[in-house]
Structure 1
Amino acid sequence: MVRHKSKILCEFGDFQTPVTLALEATNVVNRLGVSPRSVLEPTCGRGAFLLAACQVFSQVNKFVGVDISTEHLSYLKERVAAEKYSAPIEIINGDFFNLNWSDIINTLAEPLLIIGNPPWVTSSELGLLKSSNLPQKSNFQGKSGYDALTGKSNFDISEWMLLKHLEWLKERTGIIAMLCKTSVARKILTHVWQYKQKVIRAQIYRIDTLKNFNASVDACFFVLLIGDGSLSNTCEIFEDLSAQKPSHVIGYQDNILVSNVIDYKRWSHLRETNSVYIWRSGLKHDCSNVMELEQEGDKFRNGYGNVFSLEQDWVYPLLKSSDVGNSRTSTCRKYVLVTQRYIGEDTTHLKLDAPKVWDYLQNYREYLSKRSSSIYRNRPEFSIFGVGKYTFAPWKVAISGFYKALNFVQVDPIDGQPVVFDDTVYFLSCRSKSEASFLAALLNSQPAKEFLESMIFWSDKRPITIELLKRLNLRALAQVLGKEEEYNGYALSNYYQKSSILPLSQHSRYETSPINSPQSPNSL
């Protein structure tokens, strides 16, 4: 989204809906043939949707608009007084997160239309503003462990609000019709289908946010029909508000949201159950000016422009998402300081094993200690994440999580050292060049791409995730491609060898055979 111009705009996600857009969207609801008896706009602002509903739905016997801004509500009251609508319109000044909504909902006859444009702002953005305009803290998404600690528990305020709307209609009939980010709509659909809530029809209509809000974000008009009847497990996607027929249908299959139901069903036998190969994410350090370096002769320059001599065994070639996405893997622009061999390792041994690195870290201790993420709390000093024996595998197959393409690349060592990635890259570790080449070919095959793409929503900020990648059964894929015997050779070797750790001092001694003895000292 474009930069917000004020703290108030940031804090309340306050993008007032153009009157023409509100009217066009409300007419979409009218075309569905449901006649609401009550209309509620829970974050009404200047009331664009409330007033549009007054024009479109003549049979409604009560309209209610609620907002936290007295300025917006003063404007709305003036509009209501000027138009002299026949149906009663109740305007309430209140904070969405502190109102007793049951008292309001209980006064509204059904079918109840809940319509509007909730705030387009996330919980983390509000946290940075030290805003109180937040729901009470709760783990409503059910995130746990590393996901919660690293930010996956961050959520859009509109997501929380839409879940509340579903609660309000749990024992009632009605329609939820909201402008929101398309990613939020998909999260709500997943929740609805996962918990078998009584949604009998779902629709997403794309909207032009640049035209209507001067914002660059993928957003939609999201409609849920709630009532008695057969539960829906699909959602119709329309290219715009005027479209009469859907362009395609997304759905819920095998407990996941899929973007192409037909392709998913065609390749569903490629679903993973368990695997010898484990997808990993790259290194997370949250201090690029200290940890990421540029080589100058036999020394390294950090992000502050200072040059240091460091032990080579602790500095590795670094490839970022843009490098992997563009297949620039034969050379590196930067290097990264790797302070641990595994998560939680005590770093004080560096004082003896790598005194130059230790002194360097001491120079920048203050910067590293100020890393804001809670994952570093109660951890050894100078800790990193996304590190393990897989980090030091000599060959890898990698993909960028950000780039809008399924492009798996083979990554060989650079100057005799294994390559390390940033945490926006996902990879499989390999013990030989031939193994990496084989796996890359499997992953770039048409069946693999069709299966994975059937579950990808390319408009997402990070469309490719570990959760997605691990759904693909490489053994089943090899069977489809007539490569099962070759796969079994590599997989058997990998299975027996993956418990051994390659010492840092042995990184240049690579085994190139696809199958090695379980007793090999170089095994991973």
Structure 2
Amino acid sequence: MTLPGVDLTATDDYRSRLAARLSESDATVARVFEAWCAYVRDHHGAVFETPGIGNRDGDGDEDGGERVSTEFTTETKSSDPNTVPPHRLFLDTLTFAAVVDALHRQVEVTFGVTVDTPDDALDLRPVHEAVEVSLVDDDADLTRDSLAACDAEDLRRAYERTVPSTSRRVFGEYYTPPGLAELGVREAASRADGFDRGVVVDPGCGAGAFLTAAIRRKRRSARAESLGPAATLERLSTTVVGVDVNPVAVAAARTACLLALLPAMADASVDRVSIPVFLGDALGLADDTPTTGVEGRATALVGNPPWIPWERLPDVQKERLKAGPIDRLDLFDHRGAAARLGHANDDLSLPFVWTCLDRFLADGGVAAFVLKRDHVRGPAGRLVRSGRVGSRPLAVEHVHDFGSVDPFEGVGVAAALYVFRVGGSEEPDFPVPATVWEPRDGVANGTASTDAMDTADATDTANTASTVDTADMANTEGATDAVETTPTFESLSTLRTTLARTGTGLTPVDTDDPAGPWHRVDAETAPVGDCAYRIRHGLKDDAKAVFSVDDDLLSRIEPTHVYPYLRSKHVVKWGLFGHDRFLVPQRQAGEANADALGRETPKTYDYLESRRERLERRKSSWFDGGPFYSLFGLGPYTWAPYKVVWCRLGFNPHFAVVSTVDDAELGRKPVVPGDHCMFVACDDANEAHYLCALLNADPYQRCLRDLAGGKAGLSKSVVSSLHLPEWDEIRTQERLAALSRRAHEVVPAYVDRSKRAYNRLTIPELAEIQKEVDRTAARFLAER
């Protein structure tokens, strides 16, 4: 890929020369490196020497110290292949910054324009001068047209070419695809009074996808109004405002905005333009919080906020967040043990959005933010469903559900676009309109599909259809080519033509609790009801490199505290596909058993002692007060004789009963569900099998797919919304238990193949049992 006037082949030379100057302690480079490291620690927390936090629900560890040496070393190997040391992040960051700087300079020179931007707390440009490698391609046949044809998507491709994926994940930031940004801007524009003339803010703008989409939207509006060139440029350059904490993202956003402004600049024949994209923390958690001048005046907010896990934030930011927005806006209603244990997956995205709604948005304003899809029903999303932002009412006006597709290219996070309005009615209005976006089956796209485009969004406000961009309509009306089956987010038009849409609505599961979980109005709801069982999270494997046990480690420690361990790959419907081994040195989280462990299993204790430094770097408060080898998600329930287990991240609602397994080296031992598993602990085998059969039955399976949707997974909140009454030994329960036992007896004969092959397999005997399970579950529900 290319950028006009930029020599991307020179990036390797730039990187190697920068590495040499860093290694040689060049005064300028060393000074900027130290300042950059301090800035990253202050704003991003514990990101050095740890895997990228972008792998939010992956197997990567999420711990590590906040303080690291900034001394350069040429050694890049690590015990963890995902580790990104500070000097490597610096090299990658500055190399892309040089690419952006080169493109920016080419625009200024070619168009004869000076770009005014706010002052920054961190200036990286002295490094480019010190390295003395120019990425400007002086031999390029550069024209105004070639630069005007460049946009934020070209910068995204250059970013991915320049910066390795491990470094891209570190800051929890991803380029928002243009189609998703266009959709967010379109939703805000269709609902916000005076959007085209009003102030639009992206408080976590990244590289500017939403900002450039807003500029293009406003430019079309100005053209339709016959607004003069100077007035058009004035509107575009003053009413689209961005903020971001990442200095390279800010540089990229400014350049992307500059490219989007080029047509207006050419028409106005100006030699100077201002771009209001600010470097700083919109949350107000750092000392460099920028004053944008539009606080409280924004007509619309748009964006994709940072999804940084709470435990990754610097301590000073946590304290400022608690003392500021959390108390002022009552962001979390979980307190005490619940705040520590029950919501371990809380992240920065919702506090960020709520703080920015409160700080920037005027009464009656509209916001469109990309957030986790699970917020329509999960405990952290209660804030979304609360109907309040501080003292002001808030309405969710639309939810675009992308749970079945992946807008962020392999990240695997189920996302949705939420459209909010602040101010207005105090009473919630249900159902909340929703559009579910899913892959197409490859049908032809014609006029009927265009009609479906509008009816799929039938729950939009009445004026939405009239404000759909004519360019988008032109790309869909009358088309007769076969529809692509691969979802494409390059534009709103390609998003519409490569994804199918279903219009639906969201309504509370419990009508007396509007802030409780919501479900689709067209969902299978017969199995929804009260759950008599407590759902548990599997053992947290935050330091799996220490606790995972291979054959070599097993030969060096006692097997006493080593147990069969389940990961998502092991669980199938009605059975298991093997297991791993895991060191579990405690029976209960926080158990102070160091003396007994050292006395009874000295090899195990010595092994853990040799990893003490690694284990003590874990920063979560979960481990406060316990031994340095403490584990979380461990209690009497872990050792229950029977457990109904499932993968919480799975796309398929598959449940199995586990008890003990016969391990060739360990003997018969109880199974421990792992970090990606959820389970219900039972003391009685029949009770466990009854629950498993009910959950695997067709009515419950359909309900779970509707409630979870796409790739969202089977969270605690989803499964606990089902009708799962206690075991009372009634006839239908006993029948379900017996059928589950029979199904579990069938599966072991078919585990001599891959799990993928097994899931595609039809087993006649198991199919007959499944039919009877479905019939019995239907009778069970009819008896309610």
Normalised TM-score (structure 1): 0.70
1:464 — aligned with what? 714
Are the counterparts in 1 of residues 590 and 625 from structure 2 also a CA contact under 8 Å?
Answer: no
Matches within 5 A, 1:337-486: 337-347=583-593, 348-415=595-662, 416-460=668-712, 463-475=713-725, 482-483=732-733
1:250 equivalent in alignment to 2:500: no
Counterpart contact for 1:35–1:57, Cα < 8 Å: no
Is it true that 1:292 corresponds to 2:556 in the alignment?
no
Q: Does 1:49 align with 2:218?
A: no
Counterpart code for 1:414 = V
| Residue 202, structure 1, aligned to residue 397, structure 2 | yes
Counterpart amino acid of 1:402?
L
**Structure 1 residues 314-353: aligned runs within 5 Å:** 314-325=561-572, 329=576, 332-347=578-593, 348-353=595-600
Which residue does the alignment assign to 2:480?
none
Distance 2:657 2:239 in 1: 60
Structure 2 CA distance for partners of 1:114 and 1:450, relative to 1, 3 Å: same
Q: CA deviation at 1:379?
A: 0.6
Q: How does 1:39-118 map to 2 (within 5 A)?
A: 39-43=199-203, 47-57=211-221, 63-68=239-244, 69=250, 72-73=253-254, 76=257, 79=262, 80-84=264-268, 91=276, 93=278, 95=280, 96-98=282-284, 104-106=294-296, 108=297, 113-118=299-304
TM-aligned CA distance change 1:114 to 1:434, over 3 Å = same
Written as runs of structure 1 = structure 2, the 5 A alignment for 1:272-283 is: 272=531, 275=532, 277-283=533-539
Secondary structure of 2:363's match? coil
> Could you say which residue in structure 1 is the equivalent of 2:771?
none
Which residue matches 1:494?
none
State the alpha-carbon separation in 1 of the partners of residues 534 and 371 from structure 2: 35
Shift of residue 64 of structure 1?
4.2
Counterpart AA for 1:97? L
The alpha carbon displacement at 1:409 in A equals 0.5
Q: CA 1:14–1:412 in 2, change beyond 3 Å: closer, same or farther?
A: closer
CA contact (8 A) 1:11 1:133 kept: no
Tell me, what secondary structure is at the counterpart of 2:266? helix
Aligned equivalents of 2:727, 2:429: Cα separation in 1: 31
Match of 1:137 among 321, 325, 340: 321
The 1:336–1:166 alpha-carbon spacing in structure 2 relative to 1, beyond 3 Å, is same
Q: Aligned AA for 1:81?
A: M
For the residues of structure 1 that align with 2:689 and 2:406, how far apart are their CA atoms? 46
Q: Is the 8 A contact 1:204 1:236 kept in 2?
A: yes
Tell me the SS of whatever aligns to 2:645.
Answer: strand
Shift in Å, 1:323: 0.6
In structure 1, how many angstroms separate the alpha carbons of the residues matched to 2:183 and 2:358?
A: 27
1:178 deviation in Å? 3.9
Q: Is the 8 A contact 2:254 2:275 kept in 1?
A: no
User: For the Cα contact (< 8 Å) 1:10–1:121, is it kept in 2?
Assistant: no
Q: Number of paired residues? A: 463
CA contact (8 A) 2:279 2:290 kept: no
Q: Is 1:238 matched up with 2:435? A: yes
Q: CA offsets, 1:298-342, max 9 Å, x none?
A: xx532xxx7225154x3322222221246653x744322332222
Q: Which stretch of the first structure deviates more once superposed, 142-151 or 335-344?
A: 142-151
Identify the range of structure 1 (228-237 vs 213-222) with the bigger mean alpha-carbon deviation: 213-222
Indicate the larger mover: 320-329 or 153-162.
Answer: 153-162
Return the alpha-carbon distance in structure 2 between the equivalents of residues 342 and 419 of structure 1.
15
* Structure 1 runs not aligned, ≥5 long: 295-299, 488-524
Give yes or no for contact 2:590–2:623 (8 Å, CA) kept in 1: no
**2:271 corresponds to 1:271:** no
Return the letter of the residue paired with 2:552.
Answer: R
- 1:55–1:207 distance in 2 versus 1, CA, 3 Å: farther
Give distance in 1, aligned partners of 2:176 and 2:267: 20
Separation in 2, partners of 1:181, 1:486? 35
Partner of 2:418: 222
Asked if structure 1 preserves the Cα contact closer than 8 Å seen for 2:241 and 2:276, the reply is yes
CA distance in 2, matches of 1:169, 1:363: 51
State whether structure 2 residue 363 is matched by structure 1 residue 172.
yes
- Supply the distance in 2 between the matched residues of 1:259 and 1:307 (Cα, whole angstroms): 51
The code of the aligned residue for 1:122 comes to I
1:249 deviates by 1.7
In structure 1, C-alpha distance between the alignment counterparts of 2:582 and 2:406, rounded to whole Å: 43
| The 10-residue stretch of structure 1 (338-347 or 71-80) with the greater mean CA deviation from structure 2 | 71-80
* Equivalent-residue separation in structure 2 for 1:240 and 1:445 (angstroms): 27
C-alpha spacing 1:399/1:154, structure 2 compared with 1 (3 Å): closer
SS of structure 2 residue aligned to 1:293: coil
Evaluate the alpha carbon distance shift between residue 51 and residue 337 of structure 1 in structure 2; reply closer, same or farther with a 3 A threshold: closer
Specify the SS of the correspondent of 1:104.
coil
Comparing both structures, which one devotes a greater share of its residues to helix? 2
Distance 2:283 2:215 in 1: 24
8 Å contact kept, 1:318–1:332: no
CA contact (8 A) 2:590 2:630 kept: yes
The C-alpha deviation readout for 1:218-251, integer Å capped at 9, x for no partner, is: 5454323445345323332225698322422223
Q: Which amino acid aligns with 2:432?
A: C
Q: Which runs of 5+ in 2 are unaligned?
A: 1-53, 56-158, 226-231, 245-249, 439-449, 458-501, 663-667, 738-784
SS in 1 for 2:505: strand
Q: Distance in 2 between matches of 1:358 and 1:178?
A: 48
Percent identical among aligned pairs is 20
> Are the aligned partners of 2:376 and 2:517 in contact in 1 as well (CA < 8 Å)?
no
- 1:308 has 2:556 as partner: yes
Structure 1's 436 and 233: CA in aligned 2 closer, same or farther, altered over 3 A? same
Moved more, 62-71 or 404-413: 62-71
Partner amino acid for 1:271? D
Q: Alpha-carbon deviations, 1:348-407, whole Å to 9, x = none? A: 122333444444444444444444433223213432233333322333221111211222
Q: Distance in 2 between matches of 1:214 and 1:311?
A: 41
Contact conserved, 2:374 with 2:381, CA < 8 A, in 1? no
Residue 230 (structure 2) pairs with residue 38 (structure 1): no
Shift of residue 76, structure 1, vs aligned partner: 3.5
Residue 203 of structure 1 deviates from its aligned partner by 1.6
Letter of the aligned partner of 2:266 in structure 1? A
Give yes or no for contact 1:198–1:231 (8 Å, CA) kept in 2: no
| Matches of 1:464 and 1:211, distance apart in 2 | 17
3-state SS of paired residue (1:172): strand
| Counterpart Cα distance in 2 of 1:91 and 1:361 | 53
Q: SS at 1:423's partner residue?
A: coil
Whole-angstrom CA distance in 2 between matches of 1:397 and 1:209:
26
Deviation at 1:131, TM superposition (A): 12
Query: Which amino acid letter does the alignment assign opposite residue 391 of structure 1?
Result: T
